[in-house]
């Protein structure tokens, strides 16, 4: 069944408020993690036109590239390395206004300038991270963090 995301408003928070219940509905009853990640990545990319949106799944003590939208990306990221590995290690959302200022940043694309990474938890355990990159500096803020965390919480509720 094809779905269509309908976004109301032009302000960032309005877009998130409009998108969230649609994602919740889309994921409701769908137990497949990969399918849900694919739809979330697509919806975020379409709604906000971010440079890169995707998931890295925890696999064999590293992060393995999962569903994404955007240019090709790093395939594997070690625990504690780069923004994604740091979010995984610290178990928290990491906001980076300028990736060139982040110690140990992994440049999967030289075009990425700012980034936000949100852990995805299920039963209290991190199973993946959501990584969102922008070609602009200072793209992400607490509004993004709050809503992306809510979106990632949906994965903890889906089976």
The domain locations on the chain are 12-157
Beta-carbon neighbour count of residue 135 at 10 Å? 14
pLDDT in tens, the chain (159 residues): 456 889 988 999 999 999 999 999 999 989 999 999 999 999 999 999 999 999 999 999 999 999 999 999 999 999 999 999 999 999 999 999 999 899 888 878 788 999 999 999 999 999 999 999 999 999 999 999 999 999 999 998 654
Q: What is the pTM of this model?
A: 0.94
Question: Residue 60 burial (CB < 10 Å; 0-12/13-18/19+)?
Answer: exposed
Chain-centre distance of CA 74, in angstroms? Answer: 15
Q: Which two tokens stand for residue 154?
A: 């949906």
Q: Is the dihedral of CA 85, 86, 89, 94 positive or negative?
A: negative
Joined together, the tokens standing for residue 69 give: 């939208």
Q: Is residue 113 a contact partner of residue 97, using CB atoms and an 8 Å limit?
A: no
The four Cα atoms 90, 96, 99, 101 give a dihedral, to 10 degrees, of: -90
Q: In the CATH scheme, what architecture does the domain 12-157 have?
A: 2-Layer Sandwich (3.30)
46, two tokens: 């379409």
Q: Residue 64: beta bridge partners?
A: 57, 76
């Amino acid at each position: 069944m094809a779905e269509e995301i309908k976004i109301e408003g032009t302000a960032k928070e309005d877009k998130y408020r409009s998108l969230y219940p649609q994602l919740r509905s889309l994921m409701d009853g769908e137990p497949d993690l990969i399918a849900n990640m694919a739809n979330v990545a697509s919806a975020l990319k379409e709604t906000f036109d971010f440079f890169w949106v995707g998931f890295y799944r925890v696999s064999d003590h590293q992060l393995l590239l999962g569903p994404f939208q955007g240019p090709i990306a790093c395939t594997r990221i070690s625990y504690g390395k780069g923004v994604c590995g740091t979010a995984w290690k610290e178990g928290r959302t990491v906001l980076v206004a300028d990736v060139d200022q982040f110690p140990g940043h992994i440049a999967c694309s030289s075009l990425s300038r700012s980034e936000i990474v949100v852990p995805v938890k299920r039963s209290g355990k991190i199973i993946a991270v959501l990584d969102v990159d922008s070609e602009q500096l200072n793209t992400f803020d607490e509004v993004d963090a709050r809503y992306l965390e809510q979106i990632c919480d949906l994965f903890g509720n889906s089976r």
